[in-house]
Amino acid sequence: MLNNIIQYCWQKFLSITHYNHFQWSDFVLFLAVPIGCLIVEAFIIGYSSSSLKKLLTWNASAQNDFFCFLTHAFNLYQIIGIALTFGLFYFAYGVIQKHFCLHLIDYITNPFLQFGLMLFVGDFKNYVRHYLLHRFGWSWELHKLHHSATDFTMLTYLRSHAAETILTNFIDLFPFIIFGAGFQSFVWVYVFREAHQYFIHSQIKSDWGWLGKYILVSPLAHRIHHSINPVHYGKNFGNTFIIWDRLFGTYCEANPETVDVLGIPENPYNQNGFLHDYLFCYVRSIQSVFNFKS
Ligand SMILES: [Zn+2]
Ligand SMILES: [Zn+2]
């Protein structure tokens, strides 16, 4: 009996972490994108002010970035997140994926239209998802771990709590429900989207000119989103495209002089180590659900 339970748990662990169909090519690609981005950034702005140097300096904020990155690199966030959310989102994810899928993609035959539609719908979903993370007390407490970074190291992109990632994976289901397919399968789209996310969490403080003004989220625009200055709160939620912020009035013009300090007010993070911060973030979120005073 005990043996069966252990066997079941082990199989579940392997399937949730995808270790049972582990592919070196996926793992190498996962590592190659940030390593490549770190090298490119150091070439552009010089090693002395690069993310690479900040990571090697190993300050408390950079340590949290790095350990969160590891939870993603080894897919451990899945197991941690499912345990911390009591399997609820995982269960709902399975049910929805199995029973509620419109497969609209089957009715769109033009591959360019197919791709464009999924890209824009997916990015709009990311905008709404990000807005919602800031909207509710409990989700903001989870998302605070990302915002508690006091400096960008590129790996700040993946500085997120496992419970937040499970929640965001659940929201990611909605385009899938409508279309019945995801476009992550295109390798070059994956590389572009990931590299873009690493660069908007970089030390390159550029607004990217007209490109950052009207099309893509620039590093400076995302810096504004992470700014500690209250006038920047609730601005620039965009993920890949800046158009949603412009459409829904959350756009804030990027200006290097206006963003000097990153983080959250009275920042309780980056002082007691990664495990403390990870647990603290989760406890604060649960307290917020039940409205406990801490
Ligand atoms: Zn945010
Ligand atoms: Zn960010």
Residues 219-235 have pLDDT tens digits of 999 999 999 988 899 99
**15-70, pLDDT tens digit by residue?**
766 767 778 888 899 999 999 999 999 999 999 999 999 999 999 999 999 999 99
* 256 within domain boundaries: no
* Rounded distance from Cα 147 to ligand 2 centre (Å): 7
170 domain residue, yes or no: yes
Residue 247 has pLDDT above 70, yes or no: yes
Assign 148 a pLDDT band (cuts: 50, 70, 90): very high
Q: How many domains does the chain have?
A: 1
Range(s) of the domain holding residue 9? 2-204+264-289
Cβ atoms of 154 and 222 within 8 Å: the answer is: no
Rg, C-alpha atoms of the chain? 19
What distance in Å separates the CA atoms of residue 69 and residue 50, rounded to the nearest whole number? 18
The number of the ligand nearest the C-alpha atom of 237 reads 1
Asked whether residue 185 carries a pLDDT value surpassing 60, the answer given is no
Q: Would the pLDDT of 182 be above 60?
A: no
Give the mean pLDDT of 80-102. 81
158 alpha carbon to ligand 2 midpoint, in Å?
A: 8
253 CA distance to ligand 1 middle (Å): 17
Assigned domain for 56 exists: yes
Q: Residue 183's pLDDT is what?
A: 52
Going from the Cα of 156 to the center of ligand 2, the distance in angstroms, rounded, reads 7
Q: What is the pTM of this model?
A: 0.90
- 20 Cα–ligand 2 center, Å: 31
pLDDT at 293: 56
Residue 271 counted as domain residue = yes
- Comparing 29-38, 107-116, 139-148, 273-282, the range with the smallest average pLDDT is 107-116
> pLDDT-based confidence at 81, cuts 50/70/90?
confident
C-alpha of residue 160 to centroid of ligand 2, in Å: 9
Position 170 scores a pLDDT of: 85
Please check whether residue 218 is in contact with residue 241, taking contact to mean a CB–CB distance below 8 angstroms.
Answer: no
Would 254 be classed as within a structural domain?
no
Q: Is residue 61 part of a domain?
A: yes
* Structural contact between residues 215 and 55, judged by C-beta atoms closer than 8 angstroms: no
Predicted local confidence at residue 4, as pLDDT? 82
Residue 232 buriedness (CB in 10 A; 0-12 / 13-18 / 19+): middle
Q: Quick one: pLDDT band at residue 211, thresholds 50, 70, 90?
A: very high
Ligand 2 center from residue 157 Cα (angstroms): 6
Please choose, from the candidates 47, 175, 48, the residue with its C-alpha nearest in 3D space to the C-alpha of residue 105.
175
- The predicted pLDDT at position 87 comes to 83
What's the Cα-to-Cα distance from 186 to each of 129, 154, 182, 192, rounded to whole Å?
22, 23, 9, 10
CA of 146 to the centre of ligand 2 (A): 6
In a domain, 181, yes or no: yes
CA nearest neighbour of 213 among 190, 185, 245 = 245
Residue 49 lies in a domain: yes
* Cα of 256 from ligand 1 centre, angstroms: 19
Ligand nearest to the CA of 126: 1
Cα 194 to middle of ligand 1, angstroms: 17
